[in-house]
Amino acid sequence: MTKPLLGVIGGMGTQATACFYEKLHNLQTVTVEQDYMDILLYSMPSIPDRTAFITGQSDNDPFIYLKHAAKTLETAGVSAIALPCATSHYFYNELSDTVDIPIINILDETAFYAKEQGYKNVCLLATSGTIKGRAFHSAFEKQNITVSIPSATTQFELMDLIYSIKRGESNSSETLESIMAIMPETIADAVILGCTELCVIAKESPRVVNILDVLAKASLKQVRQGTV
């Protein structure tokens, strides 16, 4: 009998995709290797910069590439698609309309998780594209959770860190920890690591939400139970 097949649109960036795959693996307890979930990964780092497009610095539309990846995975027979890149969810509604299979929404899943934890206000660390697009804000606001964001200076430092991770130049959590340590916004109930690059280097910490953990759990649930 054919098992459900999870599709993953990866490569945004490559370390975040690898981290997501590892988290999926570590969530599963099996007696034989054949019990692990079947996954079809389409790693496509050639997808244009999402933040550059959203902020008007580029007219190279990532949606065309995302649509191609989603349609390719659907044709290959996947049951659902995971998208381990928060900024790409700017195109979520349009992308979902192009396929007849569910695309797991990392933003909504994170907001659901925050509500379950009883958080009333969160500090969002994300790309400038995610912040400008406000899709993450909307997801939290639907759960009656208020969102604060870093100052312009801190956001600049954060983007520099995110791109250094994408280039494979940084794998230390020290810079991220120093950013969080000086942020007045950390008085929020929780800090949301709203960029999957930050999830790669972050240490586990109370009231710090790693969205790759959230997506991995939601993906496993989707494949096993058929519910998002």
Give the Cβ contact number of residue 52 at 10 Å: 16
* Whether 195 is catalytic: yes
Annotation marks residue 85 as catalytic: yes
Active-site option among 19, 123, 195, 199: 195
Q: Which of 139, 39, 130, 33 is nearest to 82 (CA)?
A: 39
Residue type at position 162:
I
User: DSSP string covering 139-182, please?
Assistant: HHHHTT-EEE---HHHHHHHHHHHHHHHTT----SHHHHHHHHH
Handedness of CA 195, 121, 136, 22 (dihedral sign): positive
CB of 11 closer than 8 Å to CB of 85: no
Contact by Cβ (8 Å): 209, 139: no
Helix axes 14-27, 211-225, angle to 10 degrees: 50
Q: Which of 19, 85, 123, 199 is catalytic?
A: 85
DSSP state of 100: S
Backbone angles phi, psi at 141, to 5 degrees: -65, -30
Active site residues: 85, 195
